Amino acid sequence: MTIKFAKRMNELKASEIREILKLTQQKDMISFAGGLPAPEAFPIEAMKVVAEKVLTEHGEAALQYSTTEGYEPLRQKIAARMNRLFQTTVDESNVLITCGSQQALDFSGKLFLDEGDVVLCESPTYLAAISALKAYGPRFREIAGDGQGMILKELEKALEEEKNVRMIYVIPDFQNPTGISWSLERRQDFMELVNRYEIPVIEDNPYGELRFEEERLPALKSMDRKNLVVYTSTFSKTFCPGLRIGWLAATPDIFSKYVLIKQGADLCTSMRSQMEIAEYMESYDFNANVKGLIDLYRRRRDVMVDMLEQTMPAAVSFTRPGGGLFLWVELPDYMDALELLSICLQQKVAFIPGASFFPNGGGKNTLRLNYSNMTEEKIREGIKRLAAVIRSQLKAADASI
Amino acid sequence: MTIKFAKRMNELKASEIREILKLTQQKDMISFAGGLPAPEAFPIEAMKVVAEKVLTEHGEAALQYSTTEGYEPLRQKIAARMNRLFQTTVDESNVLITCGSQQALDFSGKLFLDEGDVVLCESPTYLAAISALKAYGPRFREIAGDGQGMILKELEKALEEEKNVRMIYVIPDFQNPTGISWSLERRQDFMELVNRYEIPVIEDNPYGELRFEEERLPALKSMDRKNLVVYTSTFSKTFCPGLRIGWLAATPDIFSKYVLIKQGADLCTSMRSQMEIAEYMESYDFNANVKGLIDLYRRRRDVMVDMLEQTMPAAVSFTRPGGGLFLWVELPDYMDALELLSICLQQKVAFIPGASFFPNGGGKNTLRLNYSNMTEEKIREGIKRLAAVIRSQLKAADASI
């Protein structure tokens, strides 16, 4: 039997990582691998109340098909919250509810990309954005970053050199995987450049609300004079992932095309889940819930950074994120994080090798650590084990430091 | 500002129908237009119990990210039910949970179709399958049907003539839009042909459980000697659409590719919704719920068919479905269902003009009626109004009959 699949399937291959990660689900594993929120912070009791109320008051509508655009009261609340926190000026007519923000990434590929078109992205960048977009056959050109965001000289060079740039994909707040957040100035300068070249930007902002210390910075979308930015976010990190509710916000011309795509892709998102989040935001203190997560994740970040500082040799560097769920580790050039992982798994500690976050290869000596999903105690123990394995692999010159 | 969209967006246009259908949401409209189940049959009280139980017993897992494949106990129940009702021989490892069966259609386009490839489908066929697949740029070749299913001579002719056939899309049970169901013999002969030509088949079966009179017939998937059939179905018609839980069943080689596609498209389906349906199937009588729907929809079908027989002129023909949600009406050649609709809307009765169900155009004198969503009283009144409008548009020769 010789079934012919679409050409795009040559690009979409099962990653060896995924197979390895199945091992991380063992009970005694200390896993810094996934991107999971802390389940002990899920508002389970509130959800029971909310679920009962929605079924009592809107049962038939909650369980029926709904409009593709989404539940209007929730779209209003999302727009208001975006405007308050990130200085945007959107309203409910800009907001399309999606099945997590991952769906907004898939739709963006479908909307903007023909085979061979160019996507500009950070280097490294979110691995599931790479898989979502790859289905549409683009070429990725990675733009290096510094601690403040994308390096704009490199971006401008790419915009000059590449003829078919159709999208710039960025995560300006506590990037996945590095944890780096763009400075205000970098955001402004980036948008100047984008407005000049008139290229659509996908601003992926799942972590922006989880800023641990300073004031939140305005979204790129708030500087979007030419309506080029499609902003996407999710309730997965500020509430819980299991409801699968995300959204995108775009100007009407672009919004209407996303609606057409969503009709073909899955008709609509669960009305019940949308009503539940809207009801929760109405009856409970959503900000307090986010504040609780910030406090929890800040402590975990502190513990992880402290432990890294205490245990890692000088040849290993790492980021110190001001928010979000992840930090990024660079090992000496000669080390391979994938090999390291197989040793670490025997020691019952897991992470994601960084190579998966580079669409064009490279990054073998990097890795991503998640600190949101493990207790402080496990973070301490896990980093100890990780450091011990890394030290065991160091060349003598590095080990002596 | 001149954003360039992907070429596929030229194919995905907002239908005028959609705009018209917004009018059908007026309170006093008798709408035969949508494909909505009867909301008064949703098991709302049971859902309250189930929701509470799932959050109490599995709260953290229910609200967390989950595996892309889906919740194993639900996948087991689905496989067992398919095997019992439709004589398939699948197990949970074949079953991928999707966000409604619509998502399985989108994924099928992504998996099988390059631009210019050929999809063979019934004529007419499900309009949202057309939109899902269109995003991948295929050409549709429609195969005419008779009362027993696809005409196999025509199918064989197409298989001989077309070089790039990558998929045959069919709805053998109570097809949307015609309500026609394939005979057992036609199913067997179809699968003989398919097995000979080795072309993947998407068997879309959302309505098969809703068979009003006779015994259920085996699915094409049950005759799938060469593992060519991807079977898809949903809980939207047998339980409720608002949970957005559907599935597909495929052989391991194909299944694993769908999993890759789902990872990029939306990571996973709501674990809570999956657990709720599994819990419902465990604690309640799912068959009794389906039986209730069959009784309800059979009565509504009876009323609609009776009324059509009483009121329609001889120049108008219509199907008498043995299950499902829809029937199909053919008007005299010179009539245009879209024009008819605009008159009907003034009379507060709505339907979908049939042209939308023909991917290559045509069918202007056809229309689809839904009987699941309106009470018997409204069906009586609505068909009276529809018949009056049709009679007012008849040419004298037809009117006199």
What CATH number is attached to the domain comprising A199? 3.40.640.10
The DSSP H or E segment spanning A366 is: strand A366-370
CA B386 to chain A, closest CA, distance in angstroms equals 25
Residue A242 has its nearest CB partner, among B13, B63, B103, at B63
Does the distance separating the beta carbons of B52 and A59 come in below 8 Å? no
**In this structure, what DSSP letter does residue A359 have?**
T
Decide if pLDDT at A395 tops 90: no
In a shared domain, residues B231 and B340? no
Question: In 3D, which of B339, B337, B338, B350 has the Cα closest to residue B383?
Answer: B350
Does the distance separating the beta carbons of A111 and B9 come in below 8 Å? yes
For testing contact with chain A, the best of B63, B118, B253, B257 (most A CBs within 10 A)? B63
- Indicate the number of domains in chain A: 2
Which structure tokens are listed for A19? 């197979």
In this prediction, the answer to ipTM > 0.90 reads yes
Does the distance separating the beta carbons of A4 and B64 come in below 8 Å? no
Backbone φ/ψ region at A218: left (φ over 0), alpha (ψ -120 to 50), beta = beta
Residues 80-99 of chain B with CB under 8 A from chain A are 99
Decide if pLDDT at A182 tops 70: yes
Whether B232 maps to a domain, the answer reads yes
Question: In 3D, which of B82, B84, B86 has the Cα closest to residue B94?
Answer: B82
In a shared domain, residues B214 and B362? no
Buried b (16+ CB within 10 A) or exposed e, B19-56: ebbeebeeeebbbbbbbbbbbebbbbebbbbbbebbbe
Does the distance separating the beta carbons of B257 and A62 come in below 8 Å? no
CB < 8 Å to B100, chain A? 266-267
- Establish if A240 touches chain B: CB-CB under 8 angstroms: yes
- Establish if B128 touches chain A: CB-CB under 8 angstroms: yes
CB < 8 Å to A99, chain B? 99, 244, 266
Residue B269 has its nearest CB partner, among A55, A244, A261, at A244
Decide if pLDDT at A375 tops 60: yes
In a shared domain, residues B109 and B216? yes
* A117 Cβ contact partners less than 8 Å away, ≥ 6 residues apart: A136, A137, A138, A139, A164, A165, A166, A167, B6
Q: What pLDDT score does B14 carry? A: 73
In a shared domain, residues A145 and A54? yes
Q: What pLDDT score does B27 carry? A: 84
In a shared domain, residues B98 and B243? yes
Alpha-carbon distance of A111 to B11, in angstroms, equals 12
Is residue B225 classed exposed, middle or buried when 0-12, 13-18 and 19+ CB atoms within 10 A define those classes? Answer: exposed
- Establish if B168 touches chain A: CB-CB under 8 angstroms: no
Query: Mean pLDDT over residues A204-218, rounded?
Result: 95
CA B362 to chain A, closest CA, distance in angstroms equals 21
Whether A345 maps to a domain, the answer reads yes
Q: Is A170 strand, coil or helix?
A: strand
Per-residue pLDDT of chain B (401 residues; tens, 9 = 90+): 578 999 999 988 776 677 777 777 788 999 999 999 999 999 999 999 999 999 999 999 999 999 999 999 999 999 999 999 999 999 999 999 999 999 999 999 999 999 999 999 999 999 999 999 999 999 999 999 999 999 999 999 999 999 999 999 999 999 999 999 999 999 999 999 999 999 999 999 999 999 999 889 999 999 999 999 999 999 999 999 999 999 999 999 999 999 999 999 999 999 999 999 999 999 999 999 999 999 999 999 999 999 999 999 999 999 999 999 999 999 999 999 999 999 999 999 999 999 999 999 999 999 999 999 999 999 999 999 999 999 999 987 787 55
For testing contact with chain A, the best of B119, B266, B272, B293 (most A CBs within 10 A)? B266
In total, chain A counts a number of residues equal to 401
Which of B220, B253, B283 is the endpoint of a domain? B283
Q: Are A49 and B225 in contact (CB under 8 A)?
A: no
What is the pTM for the complete model shown? Answer: 0.96
Report the CATH number at residue A321. 3.90.1150.10
Distances, alpha carbon A87 to alpha carbons A44, A74, B279, B372, in Å: 31, 19, 43, 46
Does the distance separating the beta carbons of B266 and A103 come in below 8 Å? yes
Which structure tokens are listed for A270? 């669960």
Whether A350 maps to a domain, the answer reads yes
Question: In 3D, which of A120, A122, A89 has the Cα closest to residue A231?
Answer: A89
- Establish if B27 touches chain A: CB-CB under 8 angstroms: no
Phi, psi (deg, nearest 5) at residue B270? -50, 120
In a shared domain, residues B11 and B112? no
Provide the domain limits for residue B75: 66-283
Alpha-carbon distance of B132 to A267, in angstroms, equals 10
Whether B1 maps to a domain, the answer reads no
Q: What pLDDT score does A400 carry? A: 59
Alpha-carbon distance of A250 to A220, in angstroms, equals 12
Whether A2 maps to a domain, the answer reads no
Q: What pLDDT score does A396 carry? A: 78
Does the distance separating the beta carbons of B261 and A12 come in below 8 Å? yes
In a shared domain, residues B293 and B316? yes
In a shared domain, residues A126 and A248? yes
Task: Quote the mean pLDDT of chain A.
Answer: 95
With tokens 């896993």, the residue in question is: A31
Alpha-carbon distance of A67 to A70, in angstroms, equals 6
Alpha-carbon distance of B12 to B21, in angstroms, equals 18
Q: What pLDDT score does A36 carry? A: 94
Q: Are A293 and A37 in contact (CB under 8 A)?
A: yes
Query: Mean pLDDT over residues A33-58, rounded?
Result: 97
Whether A269 maps to a domain, the answer reads yes
Amino acid at position A19, single letter:
E
Which of B245, B263, B283 is the endpoint of a domain? B283
CA A236 to chain B, closest CA, distance in angstroms equals 8
* B200 Cβ contact partners less than 8 Å away, ≥ 6 residues apart: A3, B112, B166, B167, B168, B228, B229, B230, B254
Structure-derived torsion over alpha carbons of residues B122, B186, B302, B209, reported in degrees to the nearest 10: -90
**DSSP strands (E only) in A94-158:** 95-98, 118-123, 139-146, 149-150
Phi, psi (deg, nearest 5) at residue B93? -70, -15
* DSSP bridge pairs for A202: A169, A230
In a shared domain, residues B28 and B91? no
Q: Are B51 and A52 in contact (CB under 8 A)?
A: yes
Q: How far is CA B400 from the centre of its chain?
A: 37
- Establish if B1 touches chain A: CB-CB under 8 angstroms: yes
In a shared domain, residues B276 and B327? no
In a shared domain, residues A252 and A317? no
Residue B6 has its nearest CB partner, among A2, A114, A236, at A114
Query: Mean pLDDT over residues A70-88, rounded?
Result: 98
Distances, alpha carbon A344 to alpha carbons A95, A314, A353, B288, in Å: 43, 20, 11, 52
- Establish if A8 touches chain B: CB-CB under 8 angstroms: yes
Whether B47 maps to a domain, the answer reads no
Does the distance separating the beta carbons of B226 and A266 come in below 8 Å? no
Residue A64 has its nearest CB partner, among B7, B131, B241, at B241
Largest CA distance in chain A: 69
Does the distance separating the beta carbons of B63 and A240 come in below 8 Å? yes
Decide if pLDDT at A323 tops 80: yes
Instruction: Report pLDDT digits (tens) over A1-18.
Output: 578 999 999 988 776 677
In a shared domain, residues A30 and A59? no
CB < 8 Å to B103, chain A? 265-266
Does the distance separating the beta carbons of B42 and A64 come in below 8 Å? yes
Structure-derived torsion over alpha carbons of residues B47, B48, B54, B55, reported in degrees to the nearest 10: 140
Instruction: Report pLDDT digits (tens) over A228-273.
Output: 999 999 999 999 999 999 999 999 999 999 999 999 999 999 999 9
In total, chain B counts a number of residues equal to 401
Residues 305-344 of chain A with CB under 8 A from chain B are none
Does the distance separating the beta carbons of A59 and B42 come in below 8 Å? yes
For testing contact with chain B, the best of A64, A256, A370 (most B CBs within 10 A)? A64
Backbone φ/ψ region at A38: left (φ over 0), alpha (ψ -120 to 50), beta = beta
Q: Pairing relation of β-strands A229-234 and A246-249?
A: antiparallel
Residues 169-228 of chain B with CB under 8 A from chain A are 198, 200, 226-228
Which of B283, B315, B345 is the endpoint of a domain? B283
Q: Are A340 and A355 in contact (CB under 8 A)?
A: no
Largest CA distance in chain B: 69
Whether A1 maps to a domain, the answer reads no
Residue A106 has its nearest CB partner, among B66, B113, B264, at B264
